[in-house]
Amino acid sequence: MIGKKLLKMASNLITAMLFILLLFTSFLVVFSKITGNEADVFGYQIKTVLSGSMEPGIPVGSIIFVKTSDDPTEFQQNDIITFWTEEQIPVTHRIIEVENGGEQYVTKGDANDRADIHPVLSQDVIGKHTGFTVPYVGYVLNFATSPKGAAILLIVPGLFFVIRSFYIMWGVAQHIARIKNEVPSD
């Protein structure tokens, strides 16, 4: 009896977690497809770190939270900012020098030997790193937002729900059959 209760609780927990994952993935995929860029929730963006230029403070595969700004000239030396490169790739590096009253920033990755070749123009700054970093989740998020990953993360939970529905219907059919066999007919 206890084993069945534990199994049912585990099944319900897995179902709830997969449903939340399905909703979260759906939100990310739909929002990024509609807007053509990454989700900006309450002035924050989640970015994936896929290089080691900011290690050990920000490990490869982490997600970071970036606070977007209305004033891209407000950043100061030692702030960690995320910005667009000329190739339209987001990069997160530390400001080592502010030039022209915040119109340009000289940046450098903490693990790099020298400063970045090109100064960052203020209009290319996405925002400032909040200091909140979650290691390894970036790999999952990067996979989830890829076409193949989004398909897998939407299909697998969907299949689980379909299989679970058939399992529940089978159990109900068996229960009805047992009740039918117990009730004497006239």
Which residues are known to be catalytic?
Answer: 51
Hey, what are 8's tokens?
A: 């049912």
Q: Is 65 helix (H, G, I), strand (E, B) or coil?
A: strand
Strands 63-68 and 80-84: unpaired
Amino acid at 56: P
Cβ atoms of 120 and 104 within 8 Å: the answer is yes
Cβ atoms of 68 and 41 within 8 Å: the answer is no
Cβ atoms of 60 and 52 within 8 Å: the answer is yes
The separation between the first and the last C-alpha atoms of the chain, rounded to the nearest angstrom, is 35
Give ∠ CA 123-53-124 in degrees, rounded to 5.
5
